[in-house]
Chains A and B, each alone.
Chain A
Amino acid sequence: MRSVLTALGIIIGVGAVIAMVGIGNGAKAQVETQIASLGQNVILIFSGSTTSSGIRTGWGGAGTLKIEDAEAIRREVSGVLGVSEEVVSTTQVAAGNQNWFTRVYGESADYFDIRQWPLADGAPFTPQDVRSANKVCVIGRTTATQVYGNEDPVGQILRIKEVPFTILGVLTPKGLSTQGVDQDDIVIMPYTSAMKRVIGGTNLRNISVQIGDGQQVEAAQQQIISLLRQRHNIRPGRDDDFTVRNQQEIAEAATETSRVMTVLLGAIAGVSLVVGGIGIMNIMLVSVTERTREIGVRMAVGAHGSDILTQFLIEAVTLSSVGGIIGIVCGIGASRILSIYAHWPTLISISSIAIAFLFSAAVGVFFGFYPARKAAALDPIEALRYE
């Protein structure tokens, strides 16, 4: 019973750490998948300047990006594989007597490669469609089901803001985003068609650029910045009126929170293990005192000091290791419960389990050493006389 209470410090510490690391890893992994789904080697340019810590300010606010900017980038920046001009709106779409309120994205034909978003059915629109601002589009799975039910939407007419568009294809499902948005509730059309017939305006919300070689992304970013500054007549010393971020930076910003949390976790883990260790040292000291006569007897029948040291050290390590194992099991359990009931994603890695176990064993060795040494240093005659 006493051992259980002692080990409780370690159990709680290790358990909490495992659970939180699991949640942290799960969140991080999910965000990373989300960001990876943005595509490989992608640079995002959007209107409005932002501070380096946030990427959410200035979404489509100032409206300084023009179509000509995108074309200039296509022409002049080296290593460009694809460019997509983006405009966004939400609007009513209808077919027959079914209608649905959905998001409409205007993009270039490169979008599907940039975003690595293939079609499940049909085909995407072409650069020709973009040039001619044709009334064509592809839709997401949710939109398809809402408007067409089980029917095949490919080839059908979809009235977008009362303008008839032909559906060329259906996108593969992507599910919910980290912000809880249904990514399949979408209609994608050539940006030219969107600007002409559905949304209006002359400014782009953002421009996505895909670079062929990962090594060249940084250089391309610099090129884009200087190109746009030049086009927008921004004098040296003045801020950009746009923001250029590569995928790496976006990912890093998103995981910045998780990094802070990891450091915090490390601190909590450290403190709780120290507390647990002190508990173990305390209980071992009590144990040594209570068993003074026993130690005397062991020495009398031939135990060396080192034998006694080893014996008590093993007891301490066993206590802390078992506490560690129970903590790991509790932590995994807590993680699982959270992921099932709170729908938080969790990811327990073998390495975090191994590290937690090793640390709890090490705590036993470190904090058990002093009591064990005290035991070994006892004088057998004194010990045998102890009341």
Chain B
Amino acid sequence: MRESGSKSKDEGKSKKTEHELHHDMNNGALVKLVDVHKTYRTGEMEVHAVRGVSFEIRRAEFVALMGASGSGKSTLMNILGCLDRPTSGRYVLDGSDVSGLDRDRLADIRNRKIGFVFQNFNLLPRTSARENVELPLVYSAQFLSTAQLREKADRVLASVGLAGREDHHPSQLSGGQQQRVAIARALINDPEIVLADEPTGNLDSRTSIEIMGIFQQLNERGITIVMVTHEQDIAAYAQRNVIMRDGVVLSDRVVTQRLNAAREIENVTTSTSDDGA
């Protein structure tokens, strides 16, 4: 059953609920938040960043999480990413409750099940693209030989369009290329879910569309993506938009006018070639 603090009406809502039930029985939700609260102290003050959020995310969904600053979206992302624990409420990821796990267990979950993409890429400087992509494997429990590590990293780099640049350092890569490396790193351990925090924040509009294109391709292959953004244009590439305000979910709806990155790229190309002066 999909609970939500949703205030707006959705046309096919009742149908979805049935479909939802059916899905629940068969697949189970990948992410299930149940009345999650997060309160933290800054000095003397207590801040209630998240005040009772409940929703679910199914596999292969592409969700954009939006809201002004202070809406609690970043805090919620941190909880979704197992970087933080809810003060109360439950977070069930892939069938297991991760709300009360200790630091080391959370680290393991992040390593195996979650991939992160950040606004400022957060690549290791003076390190090759390949080694950056291999980083999560360094901390995973599986033992791969150097050759196997290398082969896997190269494969993932190729899948995001960076074949041939495996040895480049971040300083030798453009913003868009660096973000692709970051995406490859997020994918290396075959995560359940990819969390992207303002992934296009540091990129120009054309590169942003390219990155959205990669996300859409990944999503078509079945990868679940949750993306935080404050830009409507970028949110339109997702399937579903969840908007937060003051710590609660304001609206949660399917994107009606969804953009397709491949087409948008063409538009950008034609328009720039049209612009004469």
- Interface residues of chain A, those whose CB is within 8 Å of chain B, are 293-294, 296-307, 380-381, 384
SS of B interface (majority): helix
**Is the CB–CB distance between A300 and B83 below 8 Å?**
yes
**Is the CB–CB distance between A302 and B83 below 8 Å?**
no
**Is the CB–CB distance between A384 and B139 below 8 Å?**
no
B78 at the interface (CB under 8 A from A): yes
B122 at the interface (CB under 8 A from A): yes
A301-B116, A302-B108 given as contacts; is B139 within 8 A of A307 (CB)? yes
**Is the CB–CB distance between B81 and A303 below 8 Å?**
no
Name the A residues within 8 Å of B122 (CB-CB): 293-294, 296-297, 300, 384
Name the B residues within 8 Å of A380 (CB-CB): 83
**Is the CB–CB distance between B110 and A300 below 8 Å?**
yes
A294-B124, A384-B118, A384-B122 given as contacts; is B111 within 8 A of A301 (CB)? yes
List 14 extra interface pairs beyond A300-B83, A302-B112, A381-B84, CB under 8 A.
A296-B122, A297-B122, A297-B135, A300-B81, A300-B122, A301-B116, A301-B185, A302-B107, A302-B108, A302-B136, A302-B140, A303-B139, A304-B107, A384-B122
- Cα separation A296 to B136 with both chains bound (whole Å): 13
User: Which 6 residue pairs of A and B lie closest in terms of their CB atoms, listed nearest first?
Assistant: A302-B111, A301-B136, A302-B139, A297-B122, A304-B104, A303-B139
Contact of B110 among A293, A301, A306 (CB under 8 A): A301
B206 at the interface (CB under 8 A from A): no
**Is the CB–CB distance between B139 and A304 below 8 Å?**
yes
How many pairs, one residue from A and one from B, have CB atoms within 8 Å of each other in the complex?
48
B258 at the interface (CB under 8 A from A): no
- Interface residues of chain B, those whose CB is within 8 Å of chain A, are 78, 81, 83-84, 103-104, 107-108, 110-112, 116, 118, 122, 124, 135-136, 139-140, 185
Name the B residues within 8 Å of A307 (CB-CB): 139
27 A-B residue contacts at CB 8 Å?
A: A293-B122, A294-B122, A294-B124, A297-B135, A298-B135, A300-B116, A300-B122, A301-B136, A301-B139, A302-B108, A302-B110, A302-B111, A302-B112, A302-B136, A302-B139, A302-B140, A303-B107, A303-B139, A304-B104, A304-B139, A305-B103, A306-B104, A307-B139, A381-B83, A381-B84, A384-B83, A384-B122
Name the A residues within 8 Å of B78 (CB-CB): 381
Chain B's nearest CB lies how many Å from the CB of A3?
Answer: 14
- Cα separation A297 to B125 with both chains bound (whole Å): 12
Chain B's nearest CB lies how many Å from the CB of A296?
Answer: 8
- Cα separation A300 to B197 with both chains bound (whole Å): 13
**Is the CB–CB distance between B110 and A305 below 8 Å?**
no
- Cα separation A106 to B84 with both chains bound (whole Å): 95
Q: CB-nearest residue of chain A relative to B182? A: A297
Chain B's nearest CB lies how many Å from the CB of A353?
Answer: 33
Name the B residues within 8 Å of A300 (CB-CB): 81, 83, 110, 116, 122
Chain A's nearest CB lies how many Å from the CB of B111?
Answer: 2
Name the B residues within 8 Å of A293 (CB-CB): 122
- Cα separation A294 to B131 with both chains bound (whole Å): 14
Name the B residues within 8 Å of A381 (CB-CB): 78, 83-84
Chain A's nearest CB lies how many Å from the CB of B100?
Answer: 18
- Cα separation A384 to B122 with both chains bound (whole Å): 8
Q: CB-nearest residue of chain A relative to B77? A: A381
- Cα separation A298 to B111 with both chains bound (whole Å): 10
Name the B residues within 8 Å of A294 (CB-CB): 122, 124
Name the B residues within 8 Å of A298 (CB-CB): 135, 139
**Is the CB–CB distance between A305 and B81 below 8 Å?**
no
Which of A301, A303, A307 has the most chain B CB atoms closer than 10 A to its own CB? A301
**Is the CB–CB distance between B107 and A299 below 8 Å?**
yes
- Cα separation A352 to B107 with both chains bound (whole Å): 44
Q: CB-nearest residue of chain B relative to A302? A: B111
Name the A residues within 8 Å of B124 (CB-CB): 294, 297
Chain B's nearest CB lies how many Å from the CB of A164?
Answer: 88
Which of A297, A302, A305, A381 has the most chain B CB atoms closer than 10 A to its own CB? A302
- Cα separation A244 to B78 with both chains bound (whole Å): 86
Chain B's nearest CB lies how many Å from the CB of A123?
Answer: 76
Q: CB-nearest residue of chain A relative to B103? A: A305
- Cα separation A293 to B81 with both chains bound (whole Å): 17
Name the A residues within 8 Å of B118 (CB-CB): 297, 384
